[in-house]
Structure 1
Amino acid sequence: MGLKLYGFSHSTNTQRVVLVLNELKVPFEYISVDLSKGEHKNEDYMKIQPFGCVPCIDDDGFVLYESRAICHYIVTKYASQGTPLVPSELKANALYAQGLSLEVGSFDAAAAPLVYEKLFKPYQGKTPDEHSVKLFESNLLQCLDGYEKILSKQKYIGGNELTLADLYHLPYLTLLPQVGCNAVDERPSVSRWAKEILARPTWKSLMEDGVKGSA
């Protein structure tokens, strides 16, 4: 059967999983779940994803959801191929784990709702909440100030090796300029790091060609 990925092309979480699959050169079948048509709430889909969210994988009967959990599963199962994304040495792995926590607890916690307020809400015909926008902008600036200190001393957010912790940032690093946020470019070490990972061939291909399966 092989690995099936259920997702939506504009979903940042779907993009995160596709990126990791491509980095590790894992073949997969892509099954589109169109959120704009409500397909994620269909009875058949919710049998495999009880929250009605994307993405979700079915790996020969093993079903898993939540993008970061899926990525962890992929890099563990296919550790011997593609780009090494999880360091094994004790201290390097600890820095990697620290980077993972920073991404989800600080960066994503500010960037995701900021992009939602300024990009996705208007797309849905809703009005952004300006109080929330200011709060998320402030939180993001504080996060990036911390990142600047970290990245002035090490190459990547999880140490001196490229890891999942870096790749997880890519969807929102791409969207921030679209909502008028140039804070990344204003911090030299953060800018250097962001430009490097944004230039990865797998990410550029995903942005140019869209989400699709691989043979």
Structure 2
Amino acid sequence: MVLKLYATSTVSSGKGIVALVLAEKQIPFQLVLVDMGAKEHKTPEYLTKHPFGQVPVIDDDGFILYESRAICRYLAEKYADQGTALLPKSLKERALVEQAASVELANFFPAVMKILKESVGKARRGLPIDQALVDESLAELSAKLDVYEVILGKQKYLAGDDFTIADVFHYAVAPFLAEGGIDIMTSKERPNVARWWNELISRPAWVKLRAEGIKGTIN
């Protein structure tokens, strides 16, 4: 049975990183579009798949899994020998990936979300922006990226010299900073961060996703 991805076609947040892993791993899948406007994600049937009523969800021959980072780990593990190797095999290398992934979730993601909610989010809704709060949040993210600069000065990617799911997780929210006119990810002040981020957003799988949106490979 072909793997099913329940999501929308837009490349953003959790569904974006799952779609990227599917592309990097060359995993055939069927996209089951969820009409968020029609509240399909809140129907009793859908809630049996995702009790919080969100996307994405995968159905792998009856095995239902939600939460994007969990899905990414599952796919990277199941298809370890297919496409891009996103998880190393040795215990110590895997621990370094989990370390970097934890840093993303505990430090990077919250800092970026504060900025996006106050700037991009409010701008889209036509609401007044608290610039002082944006500046405070930018300072917080800058401090996190200063540490990234040190790490990336010693290695190519966040968990070592190979591209892994720890890097993938950053695609969930970071691309929206540039869309909001915030170029902090490619600032000349942090050449190692800029080199890393420019390489990530130039990966062919990501470029294609951004251009075409999420499309299943099997109808």
Same fold by TM-score greater than 0.5: yes
Q: Distance in 1 between matches of 2:181 and 2:6?
A: 31
Q: Distance in 1 between matches of 2:8 and 2:121?
A: 15
Given candidates 189, 193, 212, the residue that maps to 2:196 is 193
Equivalent in the alignment of 1:153: 154
Matched, 1:205 2:213: no
Aligned residues: 215
Question: Would the aligned equivalents of 1:173 and 1:194 in 2 still touch at CA under 8 Å?
Answer: no
Shift in CA distance, 127/47, structure 1 to aligned 2, threshold 3 Å: farther
Q: Distance in 1 between matches of 2:127 and 2:62?
A: 39
Deviations along 1:158-204, whole A, 9 cap, x unmatched? 11111001111124332111222212222100000011111111100
RMSD over aligned Cα atoms: 1.7
Alpha-carbon shift at residue 45 of structure 1 (Å): 1.4
Q: Distance in 2 between matches of 1:117 and 1:38?
A: 25
Question: Would the aligned equivalents of 1:96 and 1:163 in 2 still touch at CA under 8 Å?
Answer: yes
Equivalent in the alignment of 1:83: 84
SS of residue paired to 2:32: strand
Q: Distance in 1 between matches of 2:154 and 2:199?
A: 16
SS of residue paired to 1:168: helix
SS of residue paired to 2:154: coil
Matched, 1:38 2:48: no
Equivalent in the alignment of 1:4: 4
Question: Would the aligned equivalents of 1:9 and 1:15 in 2 still touch at CA under 8 Å?
Answer: no
**Which amino acid counterpart does residue 9 of structure 1 have in structure 2?**
S
Q: Distance in 2 between matches of 1:78 and 1:157?
A: 22
**Length-normalised TM-score, structure 2:** 0.91
Alpha-carbon shift at residue 151 of structure 1 (Å): 0.4
Q: Distance in 1 between matches of 2:8 and 2:111?
A: 22
Q: Distance in 1 between matches of 2:186 and 2:66?
A: 33
Identity %: 43
Q: List alignment gaps of at least 5 residues for structure 1.
A: none
SS of residue paired to 2:195: helix
Q: List alignment gaps of at least 5 residues for structure 2.
A: none
**Which amino acid counterpart does residue 43 of structure 1 have in structure 2?**
P
**Length-normalised TM-score, structure 1:** 0.92
Q: Distance in 2 between matches of 1:80 and 1:61?
A: 23
Question: Would the aligned equivalents of 1:45 and 1:52 in 2 still touch at CA under 8 Å?
Answer: yes
**Which amino acid counterpart does residue 212 of structure 1 have in structure 2?**
K
